[in-house]
Amino acid sequence: MFLCDYHIHTPRCGDAEGDYEEYIQEALQKGITEIGFSGHSPQYFLPERERKRESAIPEEELSTYIQEVEKLREKYQGRITVRIGLEVDFVPGKEEAMCSIVGFYSWDYLLLSVHYLDGWPFDHPKYIGRYQEEDINEVYRRYYRTLKMGIETGVFDVVAHFDLPKKFGFLATETIVEVEEVLQSCREHNMVLEINTAGFYKPIGEAYPSFAILERANKLGLQLCLGSDAHRPHEVGRSFDTALSLARSAGFRSLVSFEKRKRTFYPL
């Protein structure tokens, strides 16, 4: 059976541990047939002095990252398919710099992520205090508006951790109509949704996105892929059994595979 993990970090970023091959070995052990590395994109949106290796691949090491994964793709050919992707931070107003990162290589796929709201890294535990000062519903609205702008660039293949602001368990107290708008936008721009299992291990204790969002996405005809968001080798493919049963219950019948941005669908 086809099984992919498309959201895997690499030792090129300071926030991930272990060696590439340990991630691949873990995937092999777990019966994963296709593994995609998706390192954090260089912080093109920050002034050079403020860019930190702790949360992104330094721009001057982007080609090294690519070469490292290309080598492994060769080495493991016939045993596991290795894809080369990137988790790109979308920051409004910095599209030009973003495009130079994106155009740097013929990636297999690009994950769209929003981790910053007006410079606030809202999913970073270090900055969790800021939630006290914010109107939570407004946080969600701003997040989804930003995500929609990212989708509309037409640059990306997959929406990563769709409902990320729920990470620490702070939930909106009103219906956020922007969710539906973003899902509609995904359909218009042919975006794939990721079930990201890292959420099971965060305070919220459930996958991104929620089951309700998954069901709605399926009704709209969106397609699906799987990602663990592994930052350590043992995290590859974690909770994929649960993710697969969620996907099936939400009505999904296939998973997407990417090769140089081209899609193939496999039964789920």
- Contact positions toward Fe ion, by CB under 5 A? 87, 113, 229
* Segment contacting Zn ion by CB under 5 A, of 8-16, 110-118, 190-198, 205-213: 8-16
The interface mask with Zn ion, positions 107-146, x = CB under 5 A, is: ----------------------------------------
**Min separation Cβ 82 and Zn ion, Å:** 19
**Min separation Cβ 40 and Zn ion, Å:** 5
- Amino acid identity of 190? N
Question: What is the DSSP-derived secondary structure letter of residue 13?
Answer: S
Q: Determine the Cα–Cα distance for residues 48 and 46; give it in Å rounded to an integer.
A: 6
Task: Of 127, 6, 105, 118, give the one whose Cα is nearest residue 55.
Answer: 127
Phi and psi torsions of 200, nearest 5°: -60, -25
Using the rule CB under 5 A, is 215 a contact of Zn ion?
no
Question: What is the DSSP-derived secondary structure letter of residue 153?
Answer: T
**Min separation Cβ 9 and Fe ion, Å:** 6
CA 66 to chain centre: 18
**Min separation Cβ 41 and Zn ion, Å:** 11
**Min separation Cβ 124 and Zn ion, Å:** 10
| Residue labelled with tokens 């090294």 | 64
Using the rule CB under 5 A, is 15 a contact of Zn ion?
yes
The listed partner (Zn ion, Fe ion, none) that binds 142, CB under 5 to 8 Å by sort, is none
Total binding residues for Zn ion by CB under 5 A?
A: 2
For residue 232, with 0-12 CB atoms within 10 Å meaning exposed, 13-18 middle and 19 or more buried, which class applies? middle
- The residues of the shown chain that bind Zn ion, judged by CB under 5 A, are 9, 15
